[in-house]
Structure 1
Amino acid sequence: MPAPAPRPVLVPGLGLDARSSARLRAELAADVVLLPGMGRSGPVPPVDRLAGLLRGRLGEGPVLLVGHSQSCQVVVAAAGDPRVAGLVLLGPTTDPRLRSVPRLVRAWLATVVREPWWQLPLVLLQWLTTGPVAMRQLWRVAAPDPIDVRLRAVAVPVTVVRGTRDRLCPHDWAAALAAATPAGRLVELPGAAHMTVQTHPREVARLLRRAGAGPA
């Protein structure tokens, strides 16, 4: 009997919640895990404790862990769990060059103007739900976390996804992350910016199906 396909488990990005992936989940069945700073208000523990909370919510395996933006640090930290069959990192952060506030703000603004305006009110509503305190705490614990170093120990397949208009996840940063892991690949979505999970649900669903199917 063939092994079951991994069940996608989505972890929203900084300040986001299940609403960010609603259009994606209309295309593909998936679970959503909310964590402090990612759909839940604080306090926000260190990345390894966040990863422990995530592992405690995985249920039966196998699972395909899907991170978006800041949650990619947590997803990678949880990748050693034997139930995890693969990772998909959507717009992973934080490029060390963007850890200073002025550079981050410039990159964020350069990305926001490339996002479809219709989805910005939805993002703001999610930020209000999570709250600025938890968002700030998550940034402080996750931004310095060495996701590129952690990826070197990840043995399962890793797909790094970025939009070609994303300035928060530059091409060279995404390519370096894909190359850091033994079974990594980079996929770029033409015309997309940072909120691919919300703005390009069909393309992301297609990538998740491919990642869940494993090597051909």
Structure 2
Amino acid sequence: MVSRTVSTVRLRGHTLRLHSSPGPTGSTEPPFVLIHGIGMSHRYLDRLHTELTATADTYAVDLPGFGPNPAPGPTLSVEDYAAVLLDLLAEAGAAPCILVGHSMGAQIVTAAALRDPARVRGVVLIGPVVDRRRRSVWRQAAALGHDSLRELPSANIIVLTDYVRTGLRWYLKALRPMMEYRLEAAIRAVECPVLVLRGSRDPVAREPWCRELAEAAPHGSFTEIPGQPHVAQQGAPGAVADAIRVFLAGHRSGVGDHSGPEPEHPTS
């Protein structure tokens, strides 16, 4: 059983929660930091959290306004979330690290890597949003509805209950910055290695969009988890963790050029 410590932290006037698990004794691998998407919390990252702890110290963050955290008064931009995340990493001593973001979390980890490159050794974007060809609230809502038909019941339960806990008011406040953030432009300036990862049945983060992001990143790679929808880390946490490890090992050994074929990863 993986041990976890939960800390409540106040930074920049906002409340965050940090869920921490130690990796193997003596590990020199950089820690993983997991960032959830809009309306969500650490809970749908729990299975991936457990898998990654086999390699290194692993942290999952509940951002301001999400999970049990009170909603801030003003609307926060993607860059605001990135700033408070970086402050949290500094306080926890969790940098330099590998940032792993799902959905809107992919925007936040990208913004963090741009804001303070020295604290970020690699970035993993799982199911990144928002596809520039589908930058419409209604199209995103339709894709999420479609995706819910493909998700595991456990994923749908977590998503629904987290959405209810977040509340409509704060969800809508966070929605506008998410829709306005141009990930396709930001990713071009990220200096560290970037892995863009999607489930092969994800109707939200479609293949052309994800490949475009991987090709735009100076050191980008792309891979798919076969048979998985948007919340790939819930249905196939082992395969997602393996894909991340393969990606990081490739960059350590000087391979993993985004122009080459991406590795095959088993399902779990």
Distance in 1 between the 2:206 and 2:199 partners? 9
Deviations 1:82-130 (A, max 9, x none): 1100000000000123322332222222222111223211221122222
Stretches of structure 2 that go unaligned for 5 or more consecutive residues are 1-26, 254-268
Paired AA for residue 235 in structure 2: T
Distance in 2 between the 1:92 and 1:37 partners? 20
Q: 1:98 aligns with which of 134, 147, 164?
A: 134
Matched, 1:125 2:161: yes
TM-score by length of 1: 0.92
Deviations 1:17-70 (A, max 9, x none): 111111112222210122135434423411111110010111342200000001
Q: Structure 1 residues 201 and 102 mapped into 2: Cα distance closer, same or farther (>3 Å)?
A: same
Which residue of structure 1 lines up, in the alignment, with residue 261 of structure 2? none
TM-score by length of 2: 0.75
Which residue of structure 2 lines up, in the alignment, with residue 64 of structure 1? 98
Contact 1:27–1:201 (CA under 8 A) maintained in structure 2: yes
Matched, 1:49 2:80: yes
Q: 1:177 aligns with which of 213, 219, 222?
A: 213
Stretches of structure 1 that go unaligned for 5 or more consecutive residues are none
Paired AA for residue 42 in structure 1: A
Instruction: Single out whichever of 43-52 and 6-15 deviates more from structure 2.
Output: 43-52
Which residue of structure 1 lines up, in the alignment, with residue 252 of structure 2? 215
Contact 1:68–1:92 (CA under 8 A) maintained in structure 2: yes
Which residue of structure 2 lines up, in the alignment, with residue 77 of structure 1? 111
Which residue of structure 1 lines up, in the alignment, with residue 32 of structure 2? 8
The 5 A counterparts of 1:114-153 are 114-153=150-189
How many pairs align? 214
- Give 1 or 2 for the bigger CA radius of gyration: 2
Distance in 2 between the 1:56 and 1:27 partners? 26
Paired AA for residue 46 in structure 2: A
The 5 A counterparts of 1:188-203 are 188-203=224-239
Distance in 2 between the 1:99 and 1:37 partners? 24
Instruction: Single out whichever of 38-47 and 81-90 deviates more from structure 2.
Output: 38-47
Let me know the Cα RMSD of the aligned residues.
Answer: 1.7
Distance in 2 between the 1:200 and 1:133 partners? 32
Instruction: Single out whichever of 175-184 and 196-205 deviates more from structure 2.
Output: 196-205
Contact 1:9–1:65 (CA under 8 A) maintained in structure 2: yes
SS of equivalent residue, structure 1 residue 78: helix
Paired AA for residue 52 in structure 1: A
Distance in 2 between the 1:116 and 1:5 partners? 31
Distance in 2 between the 1:52 and 1:119 partners? 29
Contact 1:107–1:167 (CA under 8 A) maintained in structure 2: yes
Which residue of structure 1 lines up, in the alignment, with residue 48 of structure 2? 24
Instruction: Single out whichever of 164-173 and 104-113 deviates more from structure 2.
Output: 104-113
> Among the aligned pairs, what percent are the same residue?
37
SS of equivalent residue, structure 1 residue 152: helix
